Structure 1
Amino acid sequence: MATQKRMKANELVTLLAELVVMDIEMMARFANIPVQNLRSWLAGKKENLRLQSVMNLMSVMGLKVDNGLRLDDARVHYWYIEDSIFSQKKSVYAALTKLSKLLAGCSITAVESSSPRLKERLGHRFYLVASDKVRLVVCVRRSFFRAPAVSPDVIKGACWRDDSDDHLITTNRRLWTHLVERDLTTYEFDRMFNQVSENVSWADVSLMAREFGVTAADVSQWILERHGELVPGGAGAQDDEGIDLDSSGGRVLYLAAG
């Protein structure tokens, strides 16, 4: 078997920028990098960015560098794919395939509202890609005559969430709205993917709080005491030859940055 070609850092960022729909100006602003320097670096002139600038850029793209390279597990990631009627399937989903190592071991399922509207059925198709350390929503904008192709055939090393014929789960209208509006928390993502039903609504909690005289400050304090933020461990020192993908341990890109 031929050895897979290593992916350079600028190639990785270019792929991710395509999926998150972020142009060079926006990337430069979020990463605090001069636009021209970033443009030159993306074109392959690695001396145009310092290593720290590259690391900042990786963070903006949703990557976490910690003894390897992986998607940040503290957030829900959104990737977008345009599958128009005149596009070639292979090229449309090529970025997903090239980034398969970031998603190795994940499970895939389509998701829709338990009470879908006609416009939702015809416009976009949403997929959840998940593992213990990955929470990814893939949104496919499709034409009426095209069936989306997010599957283990595209994401190498992934599998379907279940053995059903349609590989589809449903969720309630509240979580669906959060999903579509990119307002989904990691907790909500996990409950949606694992099909955990809600026995108590926020309306129920609000009513109980009023009845027993519990204030918003009381609830806030309880949440902080029970679920206080964890301080992440420091990232290890990196060399300038590359970063390992956490899922495979294979060195796939170079981070030489001058």
Structure 2
Amino acid sequence: MRLLVLLRQLLDPAGMLVNRKAGKVFVNREEYMINPADKRALEAALQIKDATGAEVVAAAVGPARTEDALREARALGADRAILIKEDVAAPAGRFYEALCDSLGDVDLILTGDSALDTGEAVGPQLAEMVNMAFLGNAVQCALEGAVVRIVRRDVRDATQRAYNGVEADLPAVVTVTRSGPTPRYPHGGAIIEMYRDPEAVEIMTAADLGLDDSALQPAVVERGQSFPPEREFGKQMTVEEIAERMTP
């Protein structure tokens, strides 16, 4: 049994300051973190590993600094970590589709339901690409034989207190919300061990996955910028001026 967990590294909002008067966001500390929903997905995978002995593979697409997120995943209990080292803005789903082909048998893919910074969601698209069943918005996830069962909030309930259960045959893709399983803390010794191990994170490139330039075209191309006209404020007038204008 092999579980693939997809992670995204992003700027920690705690290091940002919003200046409303200036209308700008200042980055005081450039610190990075694992996307919160992805971290819950990793915890769901680790709980399945604890129960079944499944292999957990953590993967991410990004620059060299993304290794930190994957070393943290290894320290938490992931058996393997793979960094697809690319800086291009191509859709992540293309890389993960190729990674699934490279790994071979992947029974369950888990990831966060959306990214904290952009709101991007890779799960539904990837499920279509790899022809797997899709279950979204999970707060709990478990395996029973060749069936994955999740618990998710009932979106039809306005009180947000109702839940329902959904299941699908493996292989499947599951997205986990920020209300998912509470992440465990890594042991300090495990963190040190992962940073001392030069092979803790496997590095791959688009070429290693068989992707050429045509598959790496960005999903969005910036062709220019345009701004709305400056707002024209009203003219202030005295009572006498108003009265004069109103006089026929």
* TM-score category of the 2 structures, normalised to the smaller one: under 0.3
TM-score of the superposition, structure 2-length normalised?
0.26
Of the two, which has the highest radius of gyration? 2
TM-score by length of 1: 0.25
Question: More strand per residue: 1 or 2?
Answer: 2
Larger helix proportion, structure 1 or 2?
1
